[in-house]
Amino acid sequence: MIGKYDRLAFCLLLVLVIGIFTTSCASMTQQAHQLAPEKQAHAASPAVTSPIPASSAAPADKAELPVYTEEQLKTYPEDIRDILSRGKLRVALYQEDRYPFFYADDQGVLRGSDVDLANDIALKLGVQAEFIRTAASFNEVINQVSTGEVDIGVSKLSMTLERAKRVLFSDAYLNLKQALLINRLQLAAIGEKGDDVDPLALIQGRGERIGIVAGTSYAGFARELFPNQNQVGYPNSAQLFDGVRQGDVLAAVYDAFEISRYLKKYPSYSLQLQFVQLDDHDDDIAIAVDPKRYHLQQWMNTYLHMEKKEIQKRLENYDI
């Protein structure tokens, strides 16, 4: 039998064990409560990411643009303030592709050296570029600029005195050369054979039909070169060059860059066609500006001067 003192000792031992167990559970509960916020905080924390490399930066038209207050806008000339308030620079483009200046890629995205230039102009101005591509000819691009339908035209636009009566031109950002694409058989039929024959002088003296792309500056250039010849207009350069090859016209007047690209694409045509670059006849490419936006035109010239090297690199990237 268990004695009275033994029972008392057993009870004391039991109380001691229960006390120790209770204290331990309380301590564990307290530690669990202390750890819970840390675990919650860790779960809610976003994963650490590496900085985005410069090459992956958003394109110009997605860049964050400044927001102007009314007080800030009042400090700008009216023709600049109007564009900043709108948040968009309206840019006219000819509706047909002119690779590599402006063209739609396989996904329908507008690309090219002129597109890049217009996007950068808008970015530096503090707005987005909005491209209006409804002009059916280069002359219609000039019409859109002259009537204020758009702010500028960046569309491989030749600077001419006639166009300058209607729009403001920036300084030239690209210099091309005028050129002739001549039907060799027809040229041989109107003149003597020989390496010293001047095709330009021969056509001016004896030629009859000269081809141009209607609605371009080359209609005017051709009249200056060949005032006594009949001018035949074609809707685009592809049909113009085919017209020369097929003998519908003796020669075409167009820019050397486009004619060179055509002959590189069809090297066998060189047997039928002769390419003559007119080094004394420039084709200066510039930005057409709304005639009411004089300060914008001056800003454009400043931009072209300060960004000259970058513009040249951009052109070289497109093999221009």
- Assess whether 160 and 296 both reside in one domain: yes
Q: The tokens 């650490």 sit on which residue?
A: 48
pLDDT at 265 over 60: yes
pLDDT of residue 191: 81
- The Cα 84–Cα 66 span in angstroms is 9
- Return all residues near 107 (Cβ < 8 A) that are at least 6 apart: none
Domain for residue 242, yes or no? yes
pLDDT tens sequence across 298-320? 999 999 999 999 999 999 999 99
Closest CA to 225 of 200, 199, 258, 197: 200
pLDDT tens sequence across 161-202? 999 999 999 999 999 999 999 999 999 999 866 557 799 999
pLDDT average, residue stretch 56-63:
45
- Assess whether 147 and 233 both reside in one domain: no
Domain for residue 22, yes or no? no
- Assess whether 261 and 310 both reside in one domain: no
Domain for residue 17, yes or no? no
Which residues lie across from 282 on neighbouring strands?
Answer: 177
Domain for residue 299, yes or no? yes
- The Cα 213–Cα 220 span in angstroms is 11
- Assess whether 90 and 121 both reside in one domain: yes
- Assess whether 138 and 96 both reside in one domain: yes
pLDDT at 157 over 90: yes
pLDDT of residue 26: 45
Structural domain count of the chain: 2
How many C-alpha atoms does 219 have within 13 Å on its Cβ side? 14
- Assess whether 187 and 111 both reside in one domain: no
pLDDT at 53 over 50: no
pLDDT at 42 over 60: no
pLDDT average, residue stretch 153-166:
97
Domain for residue 1, yes or no? no
Confidence of residue 276 (pLDDT cuts 50, 70, 90): very high
SS (H, E, C) the chain: CCCHHHHHHHHHHHHHHHHHHHHHHHHHHHHHHHHHHHHHHHHHCCCCCCCCCHHHCCCHHHCCCCCCCHHHHCCCCHHHHHHHHHCEEEEEEECCCECCCEEECCCCCEECHHHHHHHHHHHHHCCEEEEEEEECCHHHHHHHHHCCCCCEEEEEEECCHHHHCCCEECCCCEEEEEEEEEEHHHHHHHCCCCCCCCHHHHHHHHCCEEEEECCCCHHHHHHHHCCCCEEEEECCHHHHHHHHHCCCCCEEEEEHHHHHHHHHHCHHHHHCEEEEEEEEEEEEEEEEECCCCHHHHHHHHHHHHHCHHHHHHHHHHCCC
Closest CA to 187 of 169, 171, 201, 172: 201
- Assess whether 106 and 156 both reside in one domain: yes
CATH of residue 225: 3.40.190.10
- Assess whether 132 and 187 both reside in one domain: no
Domain holding 261, by residue range, is 177-284
Which residues lie across from 176 on neighbouring strands?
Answer: 283
- Assess whether 148 and 218 both reside in one domain: no
pLDDT of residue 7: 55
Domain for residue 119, yes or no? yes
Domain for residue 15, yes or no? no
CA-to-CA separations, 90 to 32, 136, 209, 219, 289, in angstroms, rounded: 63, 17, 39, 27, 11
pLDDT tens sequence across 230-242? 999 999 999 999 9
pLDDT of residue 24: 47
- Assess whether 85 and 219 both reside in one domain: no
- Assess whether 240 and 216 both reside in one domain: yes
pLDDT at 155 over 80: yes
Closest CA to 296 of 138, 101, 86, 100: 86
Mean pLDDT of the chain: 85
Backbone angles phi, psi at 169, to 5 degrees: -105, 145
- Assess whether 76 and 154 both reside in one domain: yes
Domain for residue 187, yes or no? yes
